[in-house]
Structure 1
Amino acid sequence: MTTTLIILILLLLLTSAPIFVAFGLAAFLTVIFITDIQPVVLVQQIFGGIDQFALMALPFFIFAANIMDAGGLSDRLMRWARALVGHVTGGVAMTAQVSSMFFGALSGSGPATVMAIGKIMYPEMLRAHFKPSFASGLLASAGAASLIIPPSITLIVFGSVTGTSIGDLFLAGIGAGIVIGISSIIYIYFYSCYHQFPRNKRASLKELLVSTRQAIWALIIPIIILGGIYGGFFTPTEAAGVIVIYALIVSAFIYRQLTLKQFYRVCVDSATTSAQILVLVASAQILGWLLTRGGVPQQVATFVSENISSAILFLLILNLVLLVMGMMMEGIAAIVITAPLLFPAATALGIDPVHFGIIIVTNLAIGMYTPPFGMNIFVAQSVSKLNMLQILPGVMKFVAVNLFALLVITYVPDTTMFLVEWISR
């Protein structure tokens, strides 16, 4: 059964079928022709896959992110980032990096972050004499941080399929996002010093305070989410609903930039995005159920326990596999496939579930801009109008830098787990 299922999935993917179609149709054909399972069970598994309290947070966070984008919070974040780091050597590129990280946290989408920040910052980086390939590589890599920094949709999905605390994943995601961001900022600084780029005028204290005041409504969102969760005021799912109300109030009544027409568009876009993700989760639930029924997770765990006794080696192999998957497959799809299979083996080796989740998501984030198939590369190309050969040198330098950061996240757990451990004391 398992062999037939995998062959069907590969054949469907080779025909360019959508991933949810490949999962769902392969599972359906396998059940009909290979097993004696009643087809109605598939329907039950589909609903069971999305009938989870934790997954209710997903459409709410997507809705909140789209409201904040339309309501002007992202523009104010960019001005705040420019006032904060714009005067440092390489400040224009650092502004793109910092604003991408914050915008990615709001949008939850790497491609959307590359497009939104790139349209503004790419011309500015060229005017500051940065090479087009460097600027494109920066945008592609910085946009991927949205997979890691909370409220991350990928972390929510990982938590829902493995039963790991989403609140703890959010806390660890902050640490991982900081490590990735700092690694890129350090590289930007030394690159800029080597090429002797001029420094911009430092923002005055008044300008910094004004930009901070204008962006404060966006900057306190992580405090509301994490403070509310760990203060016992609401669950991660309820936090998503709170943020939607918060975003509506700020966008419509404080900034006054969200019109009724924009709100309608936001509702449609949010519903579309949520449906795309949830149908993928539902179809992957069928696949996971059939693989579990075939004993695949147990076989993987047994193989690992008999052949890999070192958590260090296991994590190294995990990183290599996930980097390849990340450049070929959308992050959520990769999580719903790999997490249930590898989670038992990881816990058997004593790897913390939260740390394991962060490693998976960080790998997939890097895979999003790893040539030749990383999605963010194609979006960056649409912004810069460069071909693959032109953009490749800049992208690969950021891949190398962030791979070093990945090794730090993987083998120095305290860099990501310090907030989890501090809060849980």
Structure 2
Amino acid sequence: MSIFLLFLILFVLLIIGVPVAVALGVSSLVFILIEGVPSVVVLHNMVNGINSFPLIAIPFFILAGHLMNTGGITNRIFAFARALVGWLPGGLGHVNVGASVVFAGMSGAAVADAGGLGNVEIKAMKDAGYDSDFSVGITAASSTIGPIIPPSLPLVIYGVVADTSIGQLFAAGLIPGLLMAFSLMIMVSWYAKIRNYPKDERFSLSNLWFAFKRAFLPLLTPIIIVVGISTGVFTPTEAAVAAVAYALCLGAFVYRSLSIASVLRVSQETIETTASILLIVASSTIFAWILTANQIADLFAHSLLGFTDNAVLILLIMTLLVLILGCFMETIAAITILVPVLLPVAVQIGIDPVHFGIIMILNLMLGLLTPPVGMVLYVLAKVSNTPFERCVIATAPFLIPLVVVLLLLTFIPSITMWLPNLIYR
């Protein structure tokens, strides 16, 4: 009965718009008071939940993304993507996807991609005569590549909760991220054909070389991070610090586009964002502890395995469950709550935790494109001055290629596991 009340209070609070961290904390506290659990348990679990060395990577990756954005590097990335793929039919749609792939190696967050590149991309597409729904839809869909291609904030959280190598998770995300980009570019080509969208500009080696030179140093960021982690030069956490140092050097000394005032401003924004993330982690840790202490994971596993022992069907059920809950829950909260419940079942049917992590994160990224939570949609509604409802409708067709990629990754593990197996095993 107490467990039922726990979930009932949580979902009611979420439905009426209470912040996720508060909803998790209040529902957990009510359960603890009803069960007579010592209140010190709450503080103990909250502190332990955020007392993790890998979590230090979160503020540094956020800061690196903000510094790249503020330092004018976003425009250089967009210009390079424009010279590289702008000559294709529906050119700016392809540029949108290409820029997100590059920026993914710097920010590691879908919302940062949508807020940073989104403003530049949507304005350029509208000025070129692209339909508003297409501009918003492809910008929203391409932003989900950010948390899949390393570095990735959700993968860091998953690695901590699942006690899985973050380096292997980063390696596993590279090919799926590129596959997502390829599928979206196919969708862009289809739109370009039926709506007769133009090519952005003629292909020119001289223009490509010029754009490449301007964007060369920012393009090194993901290479430095991935190579540094895979070769053991630094850990994923230390890679985040290296990314910040590199972004500061580019903005302050190379491009001279960062001032002391702008650095202080982005530092404050980073602190605010990090505080909200860690509060969610701390609150969801209590919630996850309650589920574990009451053996909810074991009950779920027994129920699911009692229903069927078919690994494919079980994986489909878990994928559908995460997909549905991702529409209603914030990504980090969903990871910290669902992983302790679902991962043991996945391991029991022979799914690698790294493979399951990529499937789970991509599932939750689709949740960012669907109401009622849909954080990317809210950001783009503000950036593009488009009503939220229109953003939802505009983004819906672009869910099709992303769902196809999700199914491919789910049932062909080698797509995800080839690179981490090559590097680490």
In which range does the TM-score fall when normalised by the shorter chain?
Answer: over 0.9
Contact kept? 2:155, 2:361, Cα under 8 Å: yes
Within-5 A mapping of 1:159-308: 159-308=159-308
The residue that corresponds to 1:322 in the other structure is 322
Deviations 1:288-324 (A, max 9, x none): 1111111111111222222231221122112222222
2:46 is the counterpart of 1:46: yes
Would the aligned equivalents of 1:86 and 1:92 in 2 still touch at CA under 8 Å? yes
Q: What amino acid does structure 2 have at the position aligned with 1:361? A: I
Instruction: Please tell me whether residue 364 in structure 1 is matched to residue 334 in structure 2.
Output: no
Q: Is the 8 A contact 1:164 1:354 kept in 2?
A: yes
Which amino acid in 1 is paired with 2:143?
Answer: G
Change (3 A) 1:196 1:260: same
Between 377-386 and 226-235, report the one with greater CA deviation.
377-386
How much has 1:262 moved relative to structure 2? Answer: 0.3
User: What per-residue deviation string (whole Å, max 9, x for no partner) do you get for residues 359-400 of structure 1?
Assistant: 000011112112454222233333444445544543221011
Matches for 1:62-81 after TM superposition, within 5 Å: 62-81=62-81
Identify which range, 207-216 or 161-170, moves more after superposition: 207-216
User: What is the TM-score with the length of structure 1 in the denominator?
Assistant: 0.94
Provide the residue aligned with 1:424 in structure 2: 424
Deviations 1:378-425 (A, max 9, x none): 333334444455445432210112111111111122222221122135
Q: Deviations over 1:178-225 (max 9, x none)?
A: 111110001111221333333233342222122112212222222212
- Give me the whole-angstrom Cα distance separating, in 1, the residues matched to 2:5 and 2:322: 23
SS at match of 1:147: coil
Distance 2:235 2:384 in 1: 41
The list of structure 1 runs, each at least 4 consecutive aligned residues, that deviate by more than 6 angstroms after superposition, is none
- Partner of 1:2 in structure 2? 3
Matches within 5 A, 1:102-117: 102-117=102-117
Q: What is the rounded CA distance, in whole Å, between the counterparts of 2:171 and 2:108 in structure 1? A: 16
Asked if the contact 1:107–1:113 (Cα under 8 Å) also holds between the matched residues in 2, the reply is yes
Residue 28 of structure 1 is matched in structure 2 by 29
Q: Deviations over 1:5-32 (max 9, x none)?
A: 2233233334422111111122222222
Which residue type is aligned with residue 124 of structure 1?
A: A
Q: Structure 1 residues 389 and 231, CA, compared in 2 at 3 Å: closer, same or farther?
A: closer
Q: Secondary structure at the match of 2:84?
A: helix
What residue identity is the alignment partner of 1:376? Answer: V
Aligned residue for 1:234, secondary structure, equals: coil
Superposed displacement of residue 232, structure 1: 1.6
Q: Which residue of 1 aligns with 2:61?
A: 61
- Which stretch of structure 1 is more off in the superposition, 403-412 or 103-112? 103-112
Local SS of the residue matching 1:232: coil
Q: Which moved more, 1:19-28 or 1:275-284?
A: 19-28
Structure 2: distance between partners of 1:274 and 1:30: 27
Alpha-carbon separation, structure 2, partners of 1:229 and 1:215 = 23
CA distance in 1 between counterparts of 2:353 and 2:29 reads 32
- What value does the CA root-mean-square deviation take over the aligned residues? 1.8
**Corresponding position of 1:152:** 152
**In 2: Cα distance, 1:320 partner to 1:76 partner:** 39
Report the secondary structure of 1:328's partner residue: coil
Deviation of 1:80 (Å): 0.7
C-alpha distance after superposition, 1:18-53 (max 9, x if no partner): 111111122222222323x21112111111001111
SS in 2 for 1:242: helix
Taking structure 2 as the reference length, the TM-score comes to 0.94
Deviations 1:321-368 (A, max 9, x none): 222222222211111111111000000000111110000000111121
After TM superposition, the structure 1 stretch with the greater mean CA deviation from structure 2, 315-324 or 400-409, is 315-324
Distance 2:59 2:311 in 1: 35
Instruction: Indicate if the aligned counterparts of 1:67 and 1:251 stay in contact, CA closer than 8 A.
Output: yes
Is residue 2:19 matched to residue 1:18? yes
How far, CA to CA, are the matches of 1:389 and 1:288 in structure 2?
Answer: 33
Stretch of structure 1 that moved more, 142-151 or 115-124:
115-124
Q: Provide the residue aligned with 1:338 in structure 2.
A: 338
Residues of 2 paired with 1:390 and 1:29: CA distance? 38
CA distance in 1, matches of 2:74, 2:324: 32
Please tell me whether the aligned partners of residues 175 and 417 of structure 1 are also in contact (alpha carbons under 8 angstroms): no
Offset, 1:286 = 0.7
What is the 5 A alignment of 1:361-400? 361-371=361-371, 373-387=373-387, 390-400=390-400
SS at match of 2:146: helix
The size of the alignment, in residue pairs, is: 424
Shift of the 197–30 alpha-carbon distance from structure 1 to 2, 3 Å rule, reads closer
